Structure 1
């Protein structure tokens, strides 16, 4: 949304954009609790954590929040996997790039050893810890997931080298039930299920976004309740509908978003009554 349209409604930013500033994100209590546990316990103890839920339920937002908070800590190195679909060779290439370790993917043992030595050396010399964030983890192959498990600890599983936070949908849960991945599933110490949001949670999110953007009266109360009733418990659906209404209101130069606008934008078109030909019964 350009500056002219933001100025029309007195907004600092588009409250319904996927590029929402991270400081303006709505953080429910259960997400705040999960992030606190990662920040204050698991990054020191290592091991796996997992966020799972339906698309649009807030999994990626959780990783964005964690990345911002962990990068503020002085003794934490944070990396993120951007291509979870990689095979083993490309997976090692990406890890080498993230942690600045020159690797030769053709030599898996050499890469495995170099990464573990880097993490162990950092821990012993500076008490620095490494955290790896993986979004869309359901796309990772079982071979890569198993390799990540082996990379994450040393000394017969007694010394964690890496904290891994994975986010994925129901396919990740199903994948972790495979026999070869049961050892990984048993190592997940902290879990967060991003379930369908209640009507009150959706309303609190909407009001939070409007307030953070600088115009708490942008929508009428009736429209806010209507949006929450039709969002199917999904934050993404809520903000997508609200963004469409905001664009339509700006196009029509409307001073406020109301239920009439909702009906104009989302009401199903009425079918025109067809006239019968003359003489038809």
Structure 2
């Protein structure tokens, strides 16, 4: 759908339900502010934070919020791993790219030492640990998670050089029950488990998205209630339905999205002559 259609028909400055919404427009659930505040404190002494929850609850957007908040700090290092499923060799190669180091993955000890020196230097200069964000962390091999734990601590595990936020779906917490990962699981200092949202929270999300995009009256109140009641507490389900309705509204050139549009779009229509019952009546 062309942005020009959204602008001319509804006055939207951007699509409110697409993944690439501007960072300033991200909706912050009520329990997320406390989690981010604890992560901000965590960079002072280092360690691990864990964000988990079912698919479609907005974990990646929360990671984006954290990244944006720290990027505005002058000289602060924020690293983002984009390939969590890497083997140990590629794991070191990506860490080198993230922290602007020319590592030789074949020289494991040299890479290990270079990363730690980089983090120590940042800590000495900023008095804060660098921050590493890993989304879809449930895909990380056990060997890489273990290596990350060893990399980020020194002085017999009494001193942390790095702050790490691990984000993943509901499988991620279960990983730390594996014997090899129990030592890492016991070191996670900050946790947030996302649950299905209540309808009032989903309504707040809808109102926020429409308002920051520039058209708070785009949907009728009845339509908003119908959408949140059919979303199953899941933001992704809600945004998918809203996107479908927005595209339908543009194609029909309607001035406002309403409940009738929802019924037309999502209610199956019977073909003419279709029986209402599978049992035929006998004469």
Q: Same fold (TM over 0.5)?
A: yes
CA displacement at 1:270 relative to structure 2: 2.0
CA displacement at 1:121 relative to structure 2: 2.2
- Aligned counterpart, 2:278: none
Structure-2 separation of matches of 1:72 and 1:263: 45
What do you get for the CA RMSD once the two structures are aligned?
A: 1.5
- Aligned counterpart, 1:132: 132
Q: Secondary structure at the match of 1:83?
A: coil
- Aligned counterpart, 1:171: 171
- Aligned counterpart, 2:120: 120
- Aligned counterpart, 1:36: 37
CA displacement at 1:202 relative to structure 2: 0.2
Structure-2 separation of matches of 1:273 and 1:2: 39
- Aligned counterpart, 1:142: 142
Report if the CA contact (8 A) 1:24-1:209 is conserved: yes
Structure 2 residue 252 is the aligned partner of structure 1 residue 237: no
Report if the CA contact (8 A) 2:3-2:15 is conserved: no
Structure-2 separation of matches of 1:138 and 1:82: 13
Gaps of 5+ in 1: none
CA displacement at 1:76 relative to structure 2: 1.9
Deviations 1:4-28 (A, max 9, x none): 2122101111111111111111111
- Aligned counterpart, 2:10: 9
Structure 1 segments (4+ residues) deviating >6 Å: none
Point out the more displaced range, 165-174 or 218-227.
165-174
Trace 1:1-281 onto structure 2 (pairs within 5 A): 1-6=1-6, 7-39=8-40, 41-273=41-273
Q: Secondary structure at the match of 1:170?
A: coil
Structure-2 separation of matches of 1:102 and 1:189: 31
Q: Secondary structure at the match of 1:138?
A: helix
Structure-2 separation of matches of 1:126 and 1:205: 36
Structure-2 separation of matches of 1:60 and 1:10: 28
Structure-2 separation of matches of 1:234 and 1:274: 34
Aligned CA distance change for structure 1 residues 44 and 220 (closer, same or farther; 3 Å): same
* Aligned residue-pair number: 276
- Given the two structures, how large is their TM-score scaled by the length of structure 2? 0.94
CA displacement at 1:54 relative to structure 2: 0.4
Deviations 1:109-143 (A, max 9, x none): 11111111111122224435310000000000000
Deviations 1:51-105 (A, max 9, x none): 0000110110110000000111224200000000100000000000111111111
Structure-2 separation of matches of 1:202 and 1:244: 17
Report if the CA contact (8 A) 1:75-1:127 is conserved: no
